[in-house]
Amino acid sequence: MRTRLGLGALLLALSGCVSTPPWVGESAPVLRNELQEQTYRDILARYTDGGEIYKGFDSVLFATATLQTPAFREARLQRQALFKALPVEEVPARLAQELAQAGDTHEFFLGVHVYDYHYDDFDRPSSIWNVELVTSTGAVRPVSVERVGRADMEMRAYYPATGVFWVGYRVRFPTLLADGKLVIPPGTERVVLRLASSLGRVEMRVFAH
């Protein structure tokens, strides 16, 4: 969704530094029903945050992260059912299947736009990036980072902040620490997905439930 430039963003753009990647291609797909569209956008916003890294006036990275809570998964599956004319009655079974596949993990969808492709290596053991989930109990590393692929219209239908040159990742963290404590204990309001490297740091804060 296109947004108007504020004064600060306009000054950044005029100085060679922008707050979002260049807009290329078509807008992300939307539902015909405006209420259904807005309802999904509201749920997406609750569990999504973004951030940027700059080096001087040069953009290094744009990122968004969406925590795959049961509430968000259900909203995404309902949206998928509407787009693909699937029986909405099947959503609970598909949600149960997704949760079973996720197992005992906290999962994020991570979308990134990296200006130098050498740094788009989040799924590699030798990645320049340290990726952590930060909660009140501390910071934990992922148990897996899976490259989903380049953003296309299918991906953008559910994660509209991703653009043509973005890449999606599935990042999973453990639910338990080594001492058996919960990574996200009851009562946690927000958690942070942190990306850090010699290029800079991004901390994306989302609601935990």
Residue 164 belongs to what domain range? 26-207
Q: What angle do CA 173, 75, 41 make, to 5 degrees?
A: 100
Predicted pLDDT of residue 6: 39
Residue count of the chain: 209
In a domain? residue 97:
yes
Predicted pLDDT of residue 12: 44
In a domain? residue 110:
yes
In this prediction the pTM is: 0.88
Task: Give dist(CA 122, CA 202) in Å, integer.
Answer: 14
Predicted pLDDT of residue 25: 64
In a domain? residue 88:
yes
Task: Give dist(CA 60, CA 113) in Å, integer.
Answer: 8
> Helix, strand, coil: what percent of the chain each, to 5?
30, 35, 40
In a domain? residue 178:
yes
In a domain? residue 159:
yes
Each residue's pLDDT tens digit, 67-86: 999 999 999 999 999 999 99
Domain count within the chain? 1
pLDDT, mean of each 10-residue run, the chain (209 residues): 38 47 76 97 98 91 97 97 94 95 94 95 97 96 97 97 94 94 96 97 97
Predicted pLDDT of residue 86: 94
In a domain? residue 8:
no
In a domain? residue 9:
no
Predicted pLDDT of residue 14: 42
Q: What is the CA radius of gyration of the chain?
A: 18
Predicted pLDDT of residue 205: 98
In a domain? residue 4:
no
170 has which bridge partners?
109, 146
Predicted pLDDT of residue 15: 43
